[in-house]
Chains A and B, each alone.
Chain A
Amino acid sequence: ELKVEQNPLFLSMQEGKNYTIYCNYSTTSDRLYWYRQDPGKSLESLFVLLSNGAVKQEGRLMASLDTKARLSTLHITAAVHDLSATYFCAVDLYGGSQGNLIFGKGTKLSVKP
């Protein structure tokens, strides 16, 4: 059974600080996704990581994937209040063949001035 674990589950940051969210998964997969969810809203796709060593950046967020370690990270640089949201990682159970995603429980990020 594939398990996806995120840590921390809750993160309170000050504006301007850097931090990293970790996503560990238990079986082999080379397809990992990061999503953002605002309270009461749907999910917004942030990054799609398709191979070992993949790194993607958008604004203050950077995601990376290490398939050998079964680890993805989401790094936040110089946080701003607008980044406050819940961030989910999701791993494709069958490596992309069926779209069966297993989600982590999410990391609730709160950025304070």
Chain B
Amino acid sequence: DGGITQSPKYLFRKEGQNVTLSCEQNLNHDAMYWYRQDPGQGLRLIYYSQIVNDFQKGDIAEGYSVSREKKESFPLTVTSAQKNPTAFYLCASSFDTYEQYFGPGTRLTVT
């Protein structure tokens, strides 16, 4: 089955630790995206990548980093510089820049 997978579903970390969220897709989509959702809010774009080995900052990139070494994978690292990392993180992909399909999400809690 084609789709987007994110792991883990729930993640707990201590403040000051870096953590990497996984996103994999087998839809052969060129573009991939990372969003953050806070309770009662819409999604905000963190980073996006339209092609392998290239990515751009979104609206709230500070404290985050990404890589795009393979077409299928777009991992997101939440660094200790991110002041409020607790949130629901959603990965998406799209063919070209058309309709985006979302993964199941990772709920990160930092204490």
Contacts and interface: CB of A to CB of B under 8 A. Distances in A.
B41 A99 contact: no
A99 B48 contact: yes
Tell me the dominant secondary structure on chain B's binding face: strand
Interface stretch (A14-22, A51-59, A66-74, A101-109): A101-109
Interface residues of B, number: 24
A48 interface: yes
Interface in B69-111: 90, 92, 94, 97-105
Interface in B20-60: 31, 33, 40-45, 48, 50, 56, 58
Tell me the dominant secondary structure on chain A's binding face: strand
Contacts of A88: 42-43
A13 to B, nearest CB: 19
Contacts of A33: 99-100
Given A98-B97, A99-B48, A99-B97, A43 B102 contact: yes
A100 interface: yes
A100 B48 contact: yes
Interface in A68-108: 88, 90, 92, 96-106
Interface of A: 4, 33, 35, 41-45, 48, 88, 90, 92, 96-106
Given A45-B100, A101-B33, A102-B45, 11 more contacts: A43-B43, A92-B97, A97-B97, A98-B50, A99-B48, A99-B94, A99-B98, A100-B48, A101-B43, A105-B40, A106-B40
30 contacts: A4-B42, A33-B99, A42-B102, A42-B105, A43-B43, A43-B92, A43-B102, A44-B102, A45-B101, A45-B102, A48-B99, A88-B43, A90-B42, A90-B43, A96-B98, A98-B50, A99-B98, A99-B100, A100-B45, A100-B48, A101-B43, A101-B45, A101-B100, A102-B45, A103-B42, A103-B44, A105-B40, A105-B41, A106-B40, A106-B41
Interface of B: 31, 33, 40-45, 48, 50, 56, 58, 90, 92, 94, 97-105
